[in-house]
Amino acid sequence: MRLTLGHIDEYDERTATFARQLGLGSVQLHNPTNLSGTDGYWGEAELRALRERCESDGLRLEGLENVPAANFWRIQRGLPGRDEQLDNYRRTVVNMGRAGIPVLGYHFITTYVWRTRLRAAGRGGALVTAFDLADAGRGNALAAYKLTPDEPVTEPITAEQMWAHHRYFLDAVLPVAEEAGVRLALHPDDPPVDVPLGGAARIFTSPAALAEAARQAGGSPAWGLDLCVGTVSEMGGEPAVLEVVDRLGGDRISYVHFRDVRGTVPRFAECFLGEGNISPPRVLRHLRDAGFTGFVIDDHVPAMVGDRDTWADTSSEAYVSRGRAHALGYLQGVLAALDAD
């Protein structure tokens, strides 16, 4: 288990320097601006160049998360044109394999992550995001975010339909991913509510549902979970996180987003590590003891005094924040203590 600088939207000298100053040896990129995607897929040459750039900075590129929403929304919704998007998704997977990038995170949240507040008051006045189902009818505070599809859901999508669309996606892509040596990693639905948001049902909303996703993948070595500890904490706090680890096992967890919240659905707010639902040392120890050997990223973090709002500003200037340095330093301390166990 290793710590990686993750959820990077714009990889540049600033983010590379931030990683090195933190003593980190790897990075994970989040639908990065460094890749085009304008042809519907990522090309081998741009992928290889990006990996080589990271390595020339002394950083291993652990993986990518999320292709552009414009290239994926028909797949999630089972709409005409999904087969063309699947052809392009397979091209991206093949090109990632050829470029030596081993992990591609994905989600099936077709109206994307939903929050009702982006600048709620956290500890000491730090800015955190929050969700309250009672306010969800006012719309998604993240509607303008880069990964929220431009196209609204025009016909309600049921849970049964979302399960079928996910199965269709896995059947279409896993054989190619196995051949390419790339592992897909599913991010759970955030927030994990069992009512539709924006007209689409959410299905990856419980430990049992994540175990069902693993069953749908049929034991394929090209499928794993992107265990977002924050999203699972939203489901049911630390017990839910430990249950997911126990249900799937360490080898079916590709990597981990390590953040936390206070409260659980239908009402929660993001928070600093150590003040939320989970005990980070207990969860990290449980992951270690379950045989998890992948990477852990910092995900999104509170904005401390002087930090910018990283949902509104995805630049590297906003990314290299006090809140992120705190989260990473906290995790480094816990991991060091575990190593000394």
Ligand X SMILES: O=C(O)[C@@H](O)[C@@H](O)[C@H](O)[C@H](O)CO
Rounded Cα gap, residues 293 and 251, in angstroms:
7
- Could you tell me the smallest distance in angstroms from the CB atom of residue 41 to ligand X? 18
DSSP for 12-24, please give it.
Answer: SHHHHHHHHHTT-
Q: Which one among 132, 190, 243, 307 touches ligand X, defined by CB under 6 A?
A: 190
| Interface with ligand X, residue 141, by CB under 6 A | no
Q: 4 with 297: CB under 8 angstroms?
A: yes
- Closer by beta carbon to ligand X, 176 or else 261: 261
| Interface with ligand X, residue 254, by CB under 6 A | no
Segment near ligand X (CB under 6 A); pick from 48-56, 119-127, 206-214, 224-232: 224-232
Segment near ligand X (CB under 6 A); pick from 148-156, 172-180, 223-231, 318-326: 223-231
| Interface with ligand X, residue 32, by CB under 6 A | no
| Interface with ligand X, residue 115, by CB under 6 A | no
Q: 255 with 311: CB under 8 angstroms?
A: no
Segment near ligand X (CB under 6 A); pick from 68-76, 117-125, 176-184, 227-235: 227-235
Tell me the C-alpha to C-alpha distance, in Å, between residue 104 and each of 71, 199, 234, 237, 271: 14, 27, 23, 26, 27
Q: Which one among 32, 37, 97, 105 touches ligand X, defined by CB under 6 A?
A: 105
Nearest to 15 by CA among 29, 36, 31, 35: 29
- Could you tell me the smallest distance in angstroms from the CB atom of residue 177 to ligand X? 17
Segment near ligand X (CB under 6 A); pick from 94-102, 228-236, 244-252, 321-329: 228-236
Compute, in degrees rounded to 10, the torsion defined by CA atoms 275, 243, 67, 16.
50
Rounded Cα gap, residues 134 and 151, in angstroms:
24
Residue 277 CA from chain centroid, whole number? 19
Q: Which one among 74, 90, 187, 326 touches ligand X, defined by CB under 6 A?
A: 187
- Closer by beta carbon to ligand X, 147 or else 336: 147
Rg (CA), the chain: 18
Q: Which one among 74, 82, 90, 257 touches ligand X, defined by CB under 6 A?
A: 257
DSSP for 151-194, please give it.
Answer: SPP-S-B-HHHHHHHHHHHHHHHHHHHHHHT-EEEEEPPSS--S
**Residues found near ligand X in the complex (CB under 6 A):** 7, 65-66, 105, 107, 113, 147, 187, 190, 228, 230-231, 257, 299-300
